[in-house]
């Protein structure tokens, strides 16, 4: 796909995204969650796909955003929207700081060691939150009621998450074309070589994680208000659901690509909702089977598979000289 076709596709998606919640009011909550899933997959892919560091701990940044926002809304006494946006921003900043600190430590590990260490981060964060009275400990926190009609509430979150998705998408589309994006890819393909060429690999990896953390923090800050409840293990630091889904969605669509995580998140979310609806009681089993099928038949993801199948469509061809 060339640049013009991609822009056209993005515009069509944007128009659908704006019209859809108006046409189908019953699905507004689901559409809002769909954008959250897209955000999960896109932010995960910055480090996981583009840089080759499979993190199972990104949910930490999401949870930090959720709690930061809930605390600001509880204690600041400000108007709902002011407190919400202030809380989201604060969550994003704290998440960035945490990513910088954690990154300088765990990003020294590579491959499986990094993946396992980050898995531990998510669990540790959940246990810490579940033991801290200030943020409700094990019983979690409730977020304030939206000042207005519930239907309008979901419409607001649809557009809020879509706006965030659009910003992140455009930012990444630009970032992956810069030399910074190439440096991340270089680290993914051969980190020793990247070091031997003089790249500041440690710095780049940490910055990549900080970018992901910032947007996950913002997302988390708003999701707390969408779900109306912040629970340390089930929503905020939900490693077994959100934490794993992020990885799955990016892999399903094709990690290391711009569109792959978007595609993967949409396919995943729609499939999951259909399973809930039509296979109640068996939805987790069906989801498990789908995950196995993805790994066996599409290890490169949908876009990765397409790239192997039609390399010339992705520009990989020998030129007659």
Partner 1 sequence: MSAQLVVEQATKRFGGVVANDSISIEVPQGSIVGLIGPNGSGKTTLFNSIVGYHALDSGSIRFEGQEITSLRVPEIARLGLLRTFQQTRIYGKMTCMENMAASDGECGRGIFDLLRPVSAETRENAEALLEFCGLHSKRHLRAGDLSFGQQKLLEFAMALMAKPSMLLLDEPTAGINPTLINGLIERLKRANQDLGITLLVIEHNMRVIMNLAEHIYCLAHGELLAAGSPEDIRNDKRVIDAYLGAH
- Write out the residues near partner 1 by the rule CB under 8 A: 175, 177-180, 182-183, 185-186, 188-190, 192-201, 203-204, 207, 256, 311, 315-321
* Cα→Cα distances 136→26, 142, 194, Å: 32, 9, 45
| Cβ proximity to partner 1, 57 vs 261, nearer residue | 261
When the beta carbons of 281 and 315 are compared against partner 1, the nearer one is 315
C-beta closer to partner 1: residue 144 or 311? 311
Straight-line distance from the first to the last Cα atom of the chain, in angstroms, rounded to the nearest whole number = 24
Collapsing DSSP to helix, strand or coil, 317 comes out as coil
Question: Minimum distance between the CB of residue 321 and partner 1, rounded to whole angstroms?
Answer: 4
Residue 30 burial (CB < 10 Å; 0-12/13-18/19+)? middle
Kind and range of the H or E element at 230? Answer: strand 229-230
Nearer residue to partner 1 within complex by CB, 23 or 318: 318
State in angstroms the smallest separation of the CB of 52 from partner 1.
9
Nearer to partner 1, 233 or 255 (CB): 255
Distance between alpha carbon 305 and the CA centroid of its chain, in Å? Answer: 22
Task: Supply the minimum distance, in Å, between the C-beta of residue 61 and partner 1.
Answer: 20
Shortest distance, position 40 Cβ to partner 1, whole Å? 23
Question: What's the CA gap between 215 and 212, in Å, rounded?
Answer: 6
| Choice between 65 and 304, CB closer to partner 1 | 304
Measured CA distances, 22 to 31, 32, 168 (Å): 11, 12, 23
Is 178 buried (19+), middle (13-18) or exposed (0-12) by CB count in 10 A?
A: exposed
How far apart, in whole angstroms, are the C-alpha atoms of residue 156 and residue 160? 6
Smallest gap from residue 103 Cβ to partner 1 (A): 14
The span from the CA of 208 to the CA of 58, in Å, is 12
Using the minimum distance from each CB to partner 1, give the nearer residue, 200 or 278.
200
CB of 254 to partner 1, least distance (A): 12
Minimum CB distance to partner 1, residue 235 (Å) = 34
């Amino acid at each position: 796909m060339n640049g013009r076709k991609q822009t056209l596709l993005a515009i069509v998606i944007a128009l659908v995204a704006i019209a859809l919640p108006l046409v189908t009011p019953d699905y507004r909550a689901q559409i809002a969650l769909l954008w959250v899933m897209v955000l999960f997959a896109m932010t995960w892919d910055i480090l996981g796909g583009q840089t080759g560091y499979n993190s199972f701990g990104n949910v930490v940044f999401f949870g930090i955003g959720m709690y930061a926002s809930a605390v600001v809304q509880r204690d600041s006494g400000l108007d709902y929207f002011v407190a919400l946006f202030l809380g989201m921003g604060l969550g994003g900043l704290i998440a960035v700081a945490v990513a910088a600190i954690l990154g300088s430590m765990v990003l020294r590990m590579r491959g499986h060691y990094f993946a396992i260490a980050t898995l531990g981060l998510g669990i540790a964060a959940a246990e810490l939150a579940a033991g801290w009275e200030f943020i409700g400990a094990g019983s979690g926190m409730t977020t304030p009621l939206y000042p207005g009609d519930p239907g309008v509430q979901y419409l607001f979150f649809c557009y809020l998450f879509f706006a965030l998705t659009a910003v992140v998408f455009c930012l990444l589309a630009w970032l992956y074309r810069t030399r910074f994006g190439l440096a991340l890819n270089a680290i993914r393909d051969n980190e020793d070589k990247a070091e031997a060429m003089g790249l500041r690999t440690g710095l780049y990896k940490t910055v990549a994680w900080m970018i992901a953390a910032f947007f996950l923090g913002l997302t988390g800050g708003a999701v707390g208000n969408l779900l109306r409840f912040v629970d340390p293990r089930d929503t905020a630091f939900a490693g077994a659901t959100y934490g794993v889904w992020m990885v799955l969605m990016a892999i399903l669509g094709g990690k290391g690509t711009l569109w792959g995580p978007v595609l993967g998140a949409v396919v995943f979310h729609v499939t999951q909702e259909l399973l809930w609806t039509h296979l109640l009681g068996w939805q987790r089993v069906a989801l498990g089977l789908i995950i196995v099928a993805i790994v066996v038949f599409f290890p490169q993801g949908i876009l990765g598979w397409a790239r192997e199948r039609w390399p010339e469509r992705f520009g990989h061809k020998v030129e007659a000289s």
